[in-house]
Structure formats: C-alpha cells, structure tokens
Amino acid sequence: MTDTTKQDRVLIFDTTLRDGEQSPGATMTHAEKLEIAGLLDEMGVDIIEAGFPIASEGDFKAVSEIAMNSKNSVICGLARASFADIDRCMEAVKHAAQPRIHTFIGTSPLHRAIPNLNMDEMAERIHETVTHARNLCDNVQWSPMDATRTEEDYLCRVVEIAIKAGATTINIPDTVGYTAPRESAALIRMLLNRVPGADEVIFSTHCHNDLGMATANSLAAVDAGARQVECTINGLGERAGNTALEEVVMALKVRNDIMPYRTDIDTTKIMNISRRVATVSGFAVQFNKAVVGKNAFAHESGIHQDGMLKNAETFEIMRPQDVGLAGTSLPLGKHSGRAALRAKMGDLGFDLADNQLKDVFVRFKELADRKKEVYDDDLVALMRAGDDPENDRIQVKRLRVVCGTEGPQTAELTLMIDGAEASTEATGDGPVDAAFNAVKALFPHGARLQLYQVHAVTEGTDAQATVSVRMEEDGRIVTGQSADTDTVVASVRAYVHALNRLLVRREKSAPGEDRREVSYTDPS
C-alpha cells in the first residue's frame, strides 16, 4: 500500500457556497449555508469560499457567521479589485481563526474591455488592490479571471505583480470552460517556469465544465504543479457547472498509482453532503453522475452482476463504503422500530437527535403503511421533505383531484393560510395544473414557475415521487421540494414549500439581496 503521508498534498478549495450558489435557482437560505459550511468543515475541506460579502447584506452575514463557527477550514470571501470590496470582505472573514481574502479581475482582452482599462492601467489596479488586501490579511488569493484566454506574456506580467504585492495563492481560472487538459497543464508549467517568485506561492486551478472537461483539466493542472483545486459539491455552478469535488478527490484516491498526491478529505462523508447540497439547492444529481449518482454503484447487466458476485473488483474501482454508502440496501417495513430506523439513518449519514427521530419516525410509519418496503432512497427522500411545516404560513390540509381522459381536470384544495382555513375548487390542463391553479386562487401571487421536475425515488408503482419546483419573483429565486407516493400531493406540497420560502425572502431580504445585482466586472 502506498504511504500517502509522504506525498504532495493538494489543497481542496470548496466554492459551493459562492460559485456553486450562483447557479440560477440554487440560492440557499442563511441556515442552509451554515449547515453546508459545517459539513464541509467536518469533511476536511481546506478552504471554504463562503460567499461574496459585498453582494448583499445576507451574503455578508452568512460569511461572517460561517467564519465565527469554523473549526478547521480557512474561511475565504470573494472581492473584486476595489478597496470597498476588499474592506467588506475582510470585515466578514476577520472572525475566522484562518481568514483569507480572494480578490480578482478579468485579464483577457474581452474582460479588459469591460472596465475600459489598458494593460498598464489594469496592472496598476492589480498592484494597488492586492497590496491593500495583504495589508489587511496575511492570506491573500488573487485570480486573473478568464486566465486561459489571456495573452501568456501579459498573464506572466500580472501574476508576477500579484506575487510581489503579497498574494500567497495564485488561482488560474478557466472561467468559461474553454481549455483542454493538455493546455491546462502547459499553462501551469509555463507560469511556474517563467514567473519570478512562482516557487514561493501556491498555484490553484479553477475550471468550469462547459465542454465537460473540468475534472480532467483540474487534474492535469495538479500534475503540472498546481497544489490547490477549486471545486464544488456535485459540480454545482453556473452554466454547465464547476469541477466536482467528489470526482477530483476520488480520482486522486483511486488512481494514486499515477497521480501520487493526497488530500485530507474524509471521503466517507461525500455521499451525505452530496445529498444535502442536492436538497437545499434543488438541483438533483443525475443518475449516471460519477461517484455520487444513483447508478454509480448499480449493476444490471447479467455479465456484470455475475462478476460482482464472484469478485466486486471486476466491475467496481472503488467501494460504496469509500464514499459513505452502505454496502447493502436492506429495506425497512411497517414493523420496523425506532432503533432500526435510527441505525439505518446513521448508516445513511443522518445523525438524528431525539426530536428529529420522533418526527421522521412518524412520517416513516405513514410511508410504510402505503409501501410494502421502504428503501434507503425512500428514507433520504423523507429527510429532503423534512422541513417543519408548523412554522409555515401556508400549509396543505386536504387535496382531492379528479382526472382522466376527459377534461378539464379538477382539484379541490384546502390550505391553512396564517392559521385560517380556506378551500376552493379549480380546473386545469391535468391534475397538477389544476392543483397549482387552486393554490393561486387561495393565495394570489406573481411568482413565475421556472421549473417543475419529478423523479421516482425507487422502482415500482408504489414508488415515492420527489418533486422540485423553482419559482421566481422580482429577481428572487426559490426552490421547493417534497416527496410522496402520490405525485400530485408531492407537487402541491413542493409548490407550497417554494411559496413559503418566497415569503421568508420577502420579509427578511434587504433590498438587492439574493438578486445577483452585483456585477463581477469593474465595480467603479
């Protein structure tokens, strides 16, 4: 067995809460950001980019509280190349035991044209802002946004300026997912060879997945000398997403023979945090997603199943247990007790307090009465639908739908709205549309439905349906989720869940908060 303690260490920089959360519709609540940050900290992530403090009061508060609660990770905030951004960032991260300021500016010809700066003016801006950041914090990261489309000579020049100004980490972003592995490696090697002082700082890689090569580009950069990888859980991020943390970490673990680098990530926590990020973001993990997809360890082919029974290594290059999956998926039933449920939930990565267990057990029994067997994925779905409805202003009390080949379809719905019961009947193009129309009739609103998505949790006609609903109102984007063996019931509950989250945003959001109003270009 390889002794990984003597290998080069690769730092894992997680930006799920910043770059990942920028994905349209993936906005998280304050409590959810704190929860995910805690899971990342426990998992062994070296640096957590907790947010963009100047973007909104909500982002500032989240970064500040994450910084206060961090136990092991460096807590980083993002700032554009302006004194105001950098000051606000430091104000937020100063509470961390290990704070970091991450400042950036777009250096490619396309990005230089936006603030209308020539090469010399931009170089001066970089010198001034990185110097300012270093005067505030000993740990400063600098990024030339769109580095992979920046002229090599100019990239070398500005990287040298940033190093001399005090940057301790130089991040090389492939902002639009344009590069390829060979280019990614060559760029890192070129900078290490040409830039004075490059051997005294850490080089980082930040890749987007527009051409499906983010993980490959990141690993190529590591092979060339980068010692920090910027990534997100499930590859969450704008457009096609970012480098997936789980893919990089498991690639380095499984193929340590050809990539002799180590991370300090506890890989057994991967599946739990993957599921939680999928839940709070509303972005379901595709079934065939590497490492964390539902089918990542599934084998249906007869040849594959035969091989697996004889020797698991014939068709599995890593064990399910390595990423936190139980080795088997034994179902529970209506006769299963609290102890069995708690043990199973523990195997799935959910450490339930007594009051949580009581709530989940009630919903488990209700589900078990409707399903012969309750599988692992059913239990995960129960947790996804585990938001406390007692504190919601809108609650679903009763629903009855009439559907069939002859329309229009009808929904009879009763809601509790601010403690008062209200009922109506509505029609629509199908039972879900009719039910949603009934909700609108009882609680009028101007939110626009952006996404309606249904996934079967398990196989069979009695499978639970997990429904995700994304809604937008005045720039605020919220996601609601629910699960039930009745798809229409799950749909209405998810719709109402989204509405409740929207009401919270209305009441608590400061002007501009969570609306992505801050530009990533020149702030001046």
Binding residues: 19, 206, 208, 242
If one counts every other C-beta atom within 10 angstroms of the C-beta of residue 291, the result is 24
Helix (H) or strand (E) holding 74: strand 74-80
* Residue in the structure block whose two tokens are 């990530």: 265
The rounded distance, in Å, linking the Cα atoms of 147 and 105 is 10
DSSP state of 242: B
Q: Return binding residues for Mn(2+).
A: 19, 206, 208, 242
DSSP-derived 3-state class of residue 48: strand
CB 195 within 8 A of CB 233: no
Closest CA to 350 of 35, 28, 18, 20: 35
CB 86 within 8 A of CB 103: yes
- The full 3-state SS of 66-122, as one line of letters, equals HHHHCCCCEEEEEEECCHHHHHHHHHHHCCCCCEEEEEEEECCHHHHCCCCCCHHHH
For the residues of 356-388, what is the DSSP string, one character each?
A: HHHHHHHHHHHHHHH-S-B-HHHHHHHHHT---
The rounded distance, in Å, linking the Cα atoms of 315 and 2 is 22
AA identity, residue 210: D
Residue 482's Cβ-side half-sphere holds a number of Cα atoms within 13 Å equal to 24
The rounded distance, in Å, linking the Cα atoms of 168 and 171 is 10
If one counts every other C-beta atom within 10 angstroms of the C-beta of residue 319, the result is 12
CB 199 within 8 A of CB 192: yes
Helix (H) or strand (E) holding 136: helix 119-136
The CA–CA distances, whole Å, from 329 to 120, 188, 264, 375 equal 61, 44, 28, 7
- Point out which residues pair with 452 in neighbouring strands: 469
The rounded distance, in Å, linking the Cα atoms of 479 and 282 is 6
